[in-house]
A and B are shown apart, each in its own frame.
Chain A
């Protein structure tokens, strides 16, 4: 068995918060309504990871809530990676906030492991301060943690405690940790119930027994618990050519257009590995510009990369490069993109479940929509969700395709949509939610004062200002008691050359006095349905003395 590689891990605590410039105040990062990262100040108030947003806000009312943005995290992490790259060229990124490097050679050069750790701490600390300072916040204390141990898993734990585990002592050191550090909730739940509480207990079980009872995932965890390398070496010859390259003409200067190119490359790579039964755990991304500048980074995943996860890494890295500090940002468009797989493991394969077959079919859809997003930008492809509201425009909320919407009432998550890869927790199985067949308005909460159906078929994004006149040509208003001041009889469009149109039917007004408790967002409106001489029906809205044509019943 080959000995584990002596590894140094740099871990920047609460990185998403630092990247968002919120590290010095109570703040949380939220994804799918669950807290996924919190600042030290928030934790002091009792906020915990995995809490729902509301629970966290209940713990700490002044909490700042920010949505997850992996690109932001990766972009801001680039200066830190540059600082680490000053020590060795072999930096491996695990996820934004964590990177690793082989410690042996560097330690020898810099005068011992303790000296290396100190130097890395200073360099990374300065870089983190600069990132945090850009957002106007002080960096958390400590700004970074560095640790050395045998193998990346133990080194990550060592970094969290800021220790250097002596060579060869890693299994012994690991044995006191609770099994929860494996971050495999399903497995550790069973282990706990079996009375196995620490990694030492788990490592004491026979390898074959563990493999028989817990399968590959259990075997993998067992290796970690024994302080061995994360993966056994791949048996058999890997395919010779694991590099894919694409020349770009014209050069691309936007990360999303490059990510679109990367989709093809990543699928080609996965396709090449597939026939050999292999999957990639380490990916090298290289980009070159017209002016000969080049950038390369190595990404490592705990679990094999899917094509989509590869594309994410490419996008994160190029975002960081293209939009990074002026000194390091390229001066010209990217002309070449190259992906190399530098480490492979046997592919465990995945069992397609009942919903998995649908996910397979849905992947084609995802690819197509990703392509449209590449053409027009991420925000251009939308999917509608129902939301509560009185007006026709408020009953629909548009979210960009691929963004996990918050689970709220009467709203389903988009089926077939794989949960976005979450860095280190990359899973090869896709979470697929099966669509519930729900009737149109079921379990929608009531909105008193809402316009009754049918809803208008056209809702104008920019309401058109109009004038509503009574039979004497005077403007019609709505009183504080919610009645019209006079009978509306003509509608006038402020368009040159158009005359007023007679109103043959009207109903309302429906007053809506919303959010009166908050002056900043309070809106007071009244809506009126009108039927015109020409047979068209419209919804008018009065706000602050001005009538607008809000929607058309077409």
Chain B
């Protein structure tokens, strides 16, 4: 094993553990470029079974959002307070799991938008904060596109959480850019009016706008959480301790047959 040989040599700088060495190969190839031979970015072992090739496709666009196509969503726009939520809860946890899997292996990730991301939770899932670039306020129309484009050229995985619906031309451009630079674009697609997707309680009927996907562009993979529930908390005692997620991954090509999996967090 190369890692053992390296770990024994005296030239290894102090503070670099054998675990760091194994990730070194990937760190040395930080810059995404055509020379990279890997076709996927790593994900956590629990998620590996869900993704074709056991990872996120390099150069691909991954949509985190409802599994249904946008027009189907539109039909439930007259939503009642007891109707199923617009955005399945648990999606943020799924995003954090993806970031944890990628960043902990030494790849650089960036999150554009989403100032409310709970990074303490990310650390608990194993994310490496030193590999996580945050751009919580990417600016207004006309500016965030260049920010995302630059980041796609710079880091391995860019997560975009659009505040408002993305223009189809922008969406196609960003997907093409990701493919060209072989970095992965993850779009946290929150259907519904702004604010409804903020993880506050679901929007009431007064706030329901047209429930459209904010990402009208192409996507290679579509990840969704069909069910999520917390356990451990009772009336007046207990603790939120376990999150059960039913995740589903569909998409094009090898992923055309959707794969489902049950996740328990913390694992």
**Does B bind A?**
yes
Q: Which residues of A contact B (CB under 8 A)?
A: 354-355, 357-358, 361-362, 364-365, 367-369, 371-372, 375-376, 380-386, 392, 395-396, 398, 401, 412, 414-416, 434-437, 440-441, 452-461, 464, 487, 491, 493, 495-499, 501, 504-507, 529-532, 534-537, 549, 551-554
Tell me if A's interface is mostly helix, strand, loop or mixed.
Answer: mixed
Partner of B130, one of A398, A435, A552: A435
Residues from chain A with Cβ under 8 Å of B254 in the complex: none
Report B205-249 residues with CB < 8 Å from chain A CB.
205-207, 228-230, 233-241, 243
- Across the interface, do A455 and B229 meet the contact criterion of CB distance under 8 Å? no
Give the interface centre of A369, A372, A380, A498 by most chain B CB atoms within 10 Å.
A372
B202 at the binding interface (Cβ < 8 Å): yes
Say yes or no for B153: interface residue by CB 8 A criterion: yes
List residues of chain B with CB within 8 A of the CB of A496. 206
Which one of B96, B134, B200 contacts A383 once the chains associate, using CB atoms below 8 Å? B134
Task: Verify A368–B137 contact, CB threshold 8 A.
Answer: no
A537 proximity list for chain B (CB < 8 A): 230, 233, 240
**Alpha-carbon distance A93/B194, docked complex (angstroms):** 52
Q: B28–A361 contact, CB under 8 A?
A: yes
Size bracket, chain B contacts = 35 or more
Given known A-B contacts A355-B13, A437-B20, A454-B266, A380 and B137 have beta carbons under 8 A apart = yes
Closest to B129 in A: A384
Given A487-B236, A507-B236: A498 in contact with B123 (beta carbons within 8 A): no
Interface residues of B in 152-167 (CB under 8 A from A): 153-155
What's the Cα separation between A253 and B96 when bound, in Å?
A: 39
Check if A499 sits within 8 Å of B81, measured CB to CB.
yes
Is B92 an interface residue, CB under 8 A from the partner?
A: yes
Asked whether any CB of chain A lies closer than 8 Å to the CB of B126, the reply is: yes
Q: Are A456 and B118 in contact (CB under 8 A)?
A: yes
Residues of A within 8 A of B19 (CB): 437
Task: Return the chain B residue nearest A539 by Cβ.
Answer: B240
Closest 7 CB pairs of A and B: A368-B154, A497-B206, A505-B233, A455-B120, A554-B92, A498-B204, A457-B92
B136 touches A372 (CB 8 A): no
Inter-chain CA distance A385–B130, complex, in Å, is: 8
Q: Which residue in chain B gives the minimum CB-CB distance to A487?
A: B236
B136: min CB distance to chain A, Å: 7
Decide yes or no: A436 and B151 within 8 Å by CB, A551-B118, A554-B89 being known contacts: no
Q: B251 at the A/B interface (Cβ < 8 Å)?
A: no
Min distance, Cβ A386 to any Cβ of chain B, angstroms: 6
Which single residue of chain B is at the shortest CB-CB distance from A537? Answer: B230
Q: Is the CB of B239 within 8 A of A452?
A: yes
- Selected from B27, B123, B241, the residue in CB contact (under 8 A) with A440 is B123
